């Protein structure tokens, strides 16, 4: 398609000037038509050497019939030649040589000599100037487009910087506010454990203190406020510890792990969060009811099923609508898995997560793992 279009354009570029030459009624010299036709046939050379094509048109200009091909050649010279001295040389050659030949052959007066020079210069300079102006317009349009792209990139960079600054400010606010309250919980729990004489109260206070400190550590890691995480975040290997902690809090939990090999770190962390959120919901909405956790693996998928029995007491109404399961669903979906929840007719509840076991985009060496050093520096 492109070759045929170019061939058609070249055919017009050569054929139209040649047709105009043949349509001329008078021939100033016997060699006017041959030189003009040769100049027309030389026009394809302008695509590579515009200046050479202009020089080949000079004999036809002296013969009086070379202006049709010369106009095409001069336009190409102005359109594609970047050097202004070369364009000026082409215009000068196309002006002075034919004008001098005509003046010497016709013996023109001074007035007619000036008019001949002016007319010849106009015919030579106009096509070259039009070609140069079109090239300058294209270059200016391209420059304006690049300027617009640079301006858009600058605005996007400013917006990204503003978002990063706002996120850092929000992170500091969360850290200061939540960290303050969590620290107070840890301090008061430690004080209670140090002053109480009841062993059960002391154990509960120490457990609350440990949970408060763990909450602070997880929050700082999530917000990127730690210099470098010394230990990996909770994952697949920490599930037994999570179950023991729930049992210590008074929740009867049965844990069956039928998997032999651990999943990827990202999938393991997601499984940990799913089980943690499910146990938290049971503690809030069905305290004291038995919970059964089952891990199974099939091919390249690991499945976690957390089912709790119906609540034995009416739990207090929540003071706000929780978003934990929604966040977990987004997290599991990003890893290529699925999260489903089922409420049973008897009041029981089941949370089921299915995750691929292979390595995903988010892994232990990735920047989103527990707050990276880059995020720490930016925060």
348, part of any domain: yes
- 53 and 139 inside one domain: yes
Tell me the C-alpha distance between 68 and 180, whole Å: 87
Q: What is the mean pLDDT of residues 174-196?
A: 80
Bridging pattern class, strands 253-257 and 301-308: unpaired
Query: Rounded distance, CA 13 to CA 46, Å?
Result: 11
State the DSSP string of 334-353: HTT-EEEEEE-TTS-EEEEE
Residue 62 to residue 29: CA distance in whole angstroms = 9
For residue 305, pLDDT over 80 is answered with yes
Q: What is the pLDDT of residue 323?
A: 59
Continuous H helices in the chain: 2-22, 32-41, 50-62, 67-80, 84-106, 110-195, 199-222, 239-248, 265-285, 324-334, 373-378
Cα 147 to Cα 141: distance, rounded to the nearest angstrom: 10
Average pLDDT over residues 316-330: 65
Predicted local confidence at residue 315, as pLDDT = 60
Backbone angles phi, psi at 348, to 5 degrees: -70, 170
pLDDT of residue 15 exceeding 50, the answer is yes
State whether 116 and 191 are in the same domain.
Answer: no
Do residue 335 and residue 359 come from a single domain?
yes
> Looking at the structure, do residues 213 and 339 belong to the same domain, yes or no?
no
Q: Is the pLDDT of residue 231 over 60?
A: no
In a domain, 62, yes or no: yes
Mean pLDDT of 234-254: 88
Q: Are 274 and 306 in contact (CB under 8 A)?
A: yes
Does residue 163 lie in a domain region? no
Q: Are residues 206 and 128 in the same domain?
A: no
Radius of gyration of the chain (CA): 43
* Residue 227 in this model has a pLDDT that exceeds 60: no
**Lowest-confidence range among 40-44, 60-64, 177-181, 338-342?**
177-181
Q: What pTM was estimated for this model as a whole?
A: 0.43
User: Are residues 130 and 196 located together in one domain of the fold?
Assistant: no
Asked whether residue 51 is domain-assigned, the answer is yes
DSSP-derived secondary structure letter, 297: E
The residue behind tokens 């038995």 is 290
Tell me: do 99 and 37 sit in the same domain: yes
Q: Is residue 157 domain-resident? A: no
At 375 the three-state DSSP class reads helix
Count of domains for the chain = 3
Looking from the CA of 76 toward its CB, the CA atoms found within 13 Å total: 21
Q: Which is more confident, 233 or 156?
A: 156
Same domain (yes/no): 118, 204 = no
Q: What percent of the chain has pLDDT over 90?
A: 14
Give the model's confidence band at 338: pLDDT under 50 very low, under 70 low, under 90 confident, else very high: very high
Side-chain-side CA neighbours of residue 222 (13 Å): 13
Distance CA 206, CA 299 (A): 42
Q: What is the largest CA-CA distance in the chain?
A: 131
Model confidence band, residue 342 (pLDDT cutoffs 50, 70, 90): very high
- Find the distance separating the first CA and the last CA of the chain, reported in whole Å: 56
> What is the domain extent for residue 93?
2-144
Mean pLDDT of the chain: 81
Whether residue 205 sits in one domain with residue 254 = no
Does residue 160 lie in a domain region? no
pLDDT bin (cut points 50, 70, 90) of residue 293 is very high
**Based on the domain organization, do 210 and 295 belong to the same domain?**
no
Domain shared by 115 and 214, yes or no: no
Residue 212 has pLDDT above 70, yes or no: yes
Confidence category of residue 352, pLDDT binned at 50, 70, 90: very high
Q: Is residue 375 part of a domain?
A: no
- Whether residue 38 is contained in a domain is answered as yes
User: Average pLDDT of 154-180?
Assistant: 80
Work out the average pLDDT over 124-147.
90
Write the pLDDT tens digit of every residue in 41-97: 888 888 888 888 888 888 888 888 888 888 899 998 888 888 888 888 888 888 888
Residue 378 pLDDT grade (very low, low, confident, very high; cuts 50, 70, 90): very low
């Amino acid at each position: 398609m492109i070759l045929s279009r170019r061939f058609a354009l070249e055919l017009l570029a050569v054929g139209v000037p040649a047709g105009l030459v043949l349509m001329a009624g008078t021939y100033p010299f016997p060699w006017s038509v041959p030189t003009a036709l040769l100049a027309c046939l030389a026009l394809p050379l302008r695509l590579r050497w515009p200046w050479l094509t202009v020089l080949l048109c000079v004999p036809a200009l002296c013969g009086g019939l070379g202006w049709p091909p010369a106009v095409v050649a001069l336009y190409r010279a102005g359109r594609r030649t970047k050097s202004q001295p070369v364009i000026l040389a082409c215009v000068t050659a196309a002006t002075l040589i034919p004008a001098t030949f005509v003046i010497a052959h016709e013996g023109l007066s001074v007035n007619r000599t000036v008019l001949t020079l002016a007319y010849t210069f106009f015919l030579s300079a106009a096509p070259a100037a039009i070609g140069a102006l079109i090239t300058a317009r294209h270059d200016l349009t391209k420059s304006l487009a690049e300027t617009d792209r640079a301006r858009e990139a600058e605005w996007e960079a400013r917006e990204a910087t503003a978002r990063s600054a706002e996120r850092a400010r929000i992170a500091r606010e969360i850290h200061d506010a939540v960290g303050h309250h969590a620290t107070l919980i840890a301090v008061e729990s430690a004080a209670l454990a140090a002053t109480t004489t009841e062993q059960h109260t002391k154990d509960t206070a120490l457990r609350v203190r440990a949970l408060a400190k763990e909450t602070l550590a997880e929050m700082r890691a999530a917000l990127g406020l730690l210099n470098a995480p010394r230990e990996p975040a909770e994952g697949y290997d920490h599930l037994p510890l999570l179950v023991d902690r729930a049992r210590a809090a008074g929740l009867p939990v049965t844990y069956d792990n039928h998997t032999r090999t651990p999943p990827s770190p990202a999938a393991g962390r997601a499984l940990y969060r799913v089980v943690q959120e499910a146990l938290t919901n049971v503690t809030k909405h069905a305290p004291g009811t038995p919970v059964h956790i089952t891990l199974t693996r099939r091919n390249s998928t690991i499945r976690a099923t957390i089912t709790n029995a119906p609540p034995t007491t009416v739990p207090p109404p929540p003071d706000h609508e929780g978003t934990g399961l929604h966040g977990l669903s987004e997290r599991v979906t990003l890893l290529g898995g699925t999260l489903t929840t089922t409420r049973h007719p008897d009041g029981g509840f089941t949370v089921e997560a299915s995750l691929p076991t292979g390595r995903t985009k988010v892994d232990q060496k990735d920047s989103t793992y527990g707050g990276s050093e880059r995020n720490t520096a930016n925060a």
